[in-house]
Amino acid sequence: MRPLTEEETRVMFEKIAKYIGENLQLLVDRPDGTYCFRLHNDRVYYVSEKIMKLAANISGDKLVSLGTCFGKFTKTHKFRLHVTALDYLAPYAKYKVWIKPGAEQSFLYGNHVLKSGLGRITENTSQYQGVVVYSMADIPLGFGVAAKSTQDCRKVDPMAIVVFHQADIGEYVRHEETLT
């Protein structure tokens, strides 16, 4: 468990900023306490200071996880967001996509969102913009990347992919053993 290097921090923040934009600042500078990012087993954990101090008492090899896992650094030092970060991304998300009930299951099985399943989308969503996917009941289901801009979404044919799947809450079941 160690704090992130500046480079790591930058990479991670760039990734997160795709989804929540400048709201990222709210994650770093929280009014309700000190929260920080910690790297442990190549995974980045967003943890409160209090928990971090408690976790400091546990040896590194025994420590499985602490706080909330935001994602992990790949071997190529790219950052990959995990679905566990959804709790922090969803409330701050700038661009959102709501999917129809019929398409929920498909998305939760790890499939991309087709236009036919697109129920609602934030206007001015640009292509390859990180979006948080909600059900029509405003339940965050996951996040992905917009494959088409909002304007393009109007024109594409119904089977076209609108949102590339990145993570969904179905992973809590599917990747239960790897999620930490």
Partner 1 sequence: SQHFGRPLEDHLSPGVCDQSRQHSETVTLQKILVKEKSGWSRWHMPAVPATGEAELGGSLEPGSALVLFLDLRNVIKYDPSKYCHNLKKIGEDFSNTIPISSLTWELEGGNDPMSKKRRGEFSDFHGPPKKIIKVQKDESSTGSLAMSTRPRRVIERPPLTQQQAAQKRTCDSITPSKSSPVPVSDTQKLKNLPFKTSGLETAKKRNSISDDDTDSENELRMMIAKEENLQRTTQPSINESENDPFEVVRDDFKSGVHKLHSLIGLGIKNHVSCHDSDDDIMRNDCEYDSGDTDEIIAMKKNVAKVKNSTEFSQMEKSTKKTSFKNRENCELSDHCIKLQKRKSNVESALSHGLKSLNRKSPSHSSSSEDADSASELADSEGGEEYNAMMKNCLRVNLTLADLEQLAGSDLKVPNEDTESDGPETTTQCKFDRGFKSPKTPTGLRRGRQCIRPAEIVASLLEGEENTCGKQKPKENNLKPKFQAFKGVGCLYEKESMKKSLKDSVASNNINKDQNSMKHEDPSIISMEDGSPYVNGSLGEVTPCQHAKKANGPNYIQPQKRQTTFESQDRKAVSPSSSEKRSKNPISRPLEGKKSLSLSAKTHNIGFDKDSCHSTTKTEASQEERSDSSSLTSLKKSPKVSSKDTREIKTDFSLSISNSSDLSAKDKHAEDNEKRLAALEARQKAKEVQKKLVHNALANLDGHPEDKPTHIIFGSDSECETEETSTQEQSHPGEEWVKESMGKTSGKLFDSSDDEESDSEDDSNRFKIKPQFEGRAGQKLMDLQSHFGTDDRFRMDSRFLETDSEEEQEEVNEKKAAEEEELAEEKMKALNVVQSVLQINLSSSTNRGSVAAKKFKDIIHYDPTKQDHATYERKRDDKPKESKAKRKKKREEAEKLPEVSKEMYYNIAMDLKEIFQTTKYTSEKEEGTPWNEDCGKEKPEEIQDPAALTSDAEQPSGFTFSFFDSDTKDIKEDRVSVTQAGVQWCNLSSLADNTNSMVL
Binding residues for partner 1, rule: CB under 8 A, are 3, 6, 9-10, 13-14, 17, 21-22, 24-25, 28-29, 34, 36-37, 49, 53, 94-96, 98, 100-102, 104, 114-116, 118-124, 135-139, 150, 153-155, 157-159
- Dihedral sign from CA coordinates of 142, 100, 94, 34: negative
Q: How far is the CB of 36 from partner 1 (least distance, A)?
A: 6
Q: How far is the CB of 177 from partner 1 (least distance, A)?
A: 25
Whichever of 52 and 167 has its CB closer to partner 1, that residue is 52
Whichever of 118 and 167 has its CB closer to partner 1, that residue is 118
Cα separation, 151 vs 92, in Å, equals 23
Whichever of 60 and 102 has its CB closer to partner 1, that residue is 102
Contact 142, 110 (CB under 8 A): no
Cα separation, 23 vs 93, in Å, equals 8
Cα separation, 108 vs 51, in Å, equals 31
Whichever of 41 and 116 has its CB closer to partner 1, that residue is 116
Phi, psi (deg, nearest 5) at residue 85 = -80, -5
Q: Pick from 41, 36, 62: which is nearest to 51 by CA? A: 36
Whichever of 157 and 177 has its CB closer to partner 1, that residue is 157
Cα separation, 41 vs 71, in Å, equals 11
Q: How far is the CB of 73 from partner 1 (least distance, A)?
A: 15
Q: How far is the CB of 21 from partner 1 (least distance, A)?
A: 7
Q: How far is the CB of 114 from partner 1 (least distance, A)?
A: 7
Q: Pick from 30, 147, 160: which is nearest to 95 by CA? A: 147
